[in-house]
Amino acid sequence: MIRVRVVDLDQPDEVLDAVYGEVLTPSFPPAELCTVEGMRAGMPAGITTVSAVLDPDGRPVAAAVGDWSEASRVQLLSYLAVLPAYRGAGHGGRLLAHVLSRWRTLYQPCAIVAEIEHPAAHEASEAYGDPTARVRFYARHGAVALDLPYFQPALRPELGRWYGMLLISLHCDPELAGPVAGSYAGEPLRRFMVEYLELAEGGVPGDAAAIALLAAMDRADGIPTLPLDDPARLPLSRA
């Protein structure tokens, strides 16, 4: 068995460049991936955190990237990826457990969320993995889907938004409990989404998809949660 270790990057250095170029770039479509310059800018301020699994030679074989929203107290798991040759050995699960524990200590977030592809909207590929397997992975680790017509904002203007996404929850503080059992209070998540849109797209757009997403966060009875093990029930956004 190959011995590996988990490290937290404390500065944007050559290890970050290797994480971005060797783990993240091959694992995500361009429209889903922010720039390495954006990661470099966020790390010194404590907004962006990067953790990696390193092989005995110090090369990254898995990585997790998080982005913190202080205004909403919502932590986003922006990326979690394991190189194909290292999948199936538990590295993804161990790395996920590590960063969830780390972020709870660092930020005391009201929620930790992640964006993943809806299996009905994205096909499996050798390069980017299998959305169905990814849903099963997060379900095994206790995640639930939020009942939202979610899309990833345009991280790069030339590539546009990434539709057919799910926003899932990996951690919910009791203060985020909604008025109906199993629901989340919408206000913190709406604040998170507005900030996300402002940072990525320069403001809150007035198109139909954005209006529908924010309206779903404004429901008086909160945002319902859905089990990830029933893909047919999961909400689907389209352009």
Residue 123 has pLDDT above 70, yes or no: yes
Over range 196-217, report the average pLDDT. Answer: 96
Q: What is the pLDDT of residue 82?
A: 95
Domain count, the chain: 2
In terms of domains, do 116 and 175 share one? yes
**Which residues lie closer than 8 Å to 71 by C-beta, 6 or more apart?**
191, 192, 195
In terms of domains, do 101 and 139 share one? no
In terms of domains, do 199 and 100 share one? no
Q: What is the pLDDT of residue 118?
A: 95
**Burial letters 108-141, b for 16+ CB under 10 A, else e:** ebbbbbbbbbbbebbeeeeebbbbbebbebbbee
In terms of domains, do 55 and 147 share one? no
For position 25, which CATH number holds? 3.40.630.30
Q: Is the dihedral of CA 78, 83, 88, 91 positive or negative?
A: negative
Q: Residue 110: phi, psi to the nearest 5?
A: -80, -20
In terms of domains, do 140 and 173 share one? yes
Q: How far is CA 125 from CA 28, 84, 122, 130, 135, in A?
A: 11, 12, 9, 6, 15
In terms of domains, do 125 and 229 share one? yes
In terms of domains, do 122 and 229 share one? yes
In terms of domains, do 60 and 134 share one? no
Secondary structure of residue 200 in the 3-state scheme: helix
pLDDT in tens, 96-113: 999 999 999 999 999 999
Q: What is the pLDDT of residue 1?
A: 55
| pTM confidence score | 0.95
Q: What token pair was written down for 127?
A: 């390069």
Which of the listed residues 88, 109, 130 is the one where a domain comes to its end? 109
Q: Is 238 exposed, middle or buried (0-12, 13-18, 19+ CB in 10 A)?
A: exposed
Q: Under a CB-based contact definition with an 8 Å cutoff, are residues 80 and 64 in contact?
A: yes
Which of the listed residues 54, 75, 109 is the one where a domain comes to its end? 109
In terms of domains, do 170 and 206 share one? yes
Range of the domain at 145: 112-239
Which of the listed residues 76, 109, 142 is the one where a domain comes to its end? 109
As a whole number, the mean pLDDT across the chain is: 94
Q: What is the pLDDT of residue 218?
A: 96
In terms of domains, do 116 and 234 share one? yes
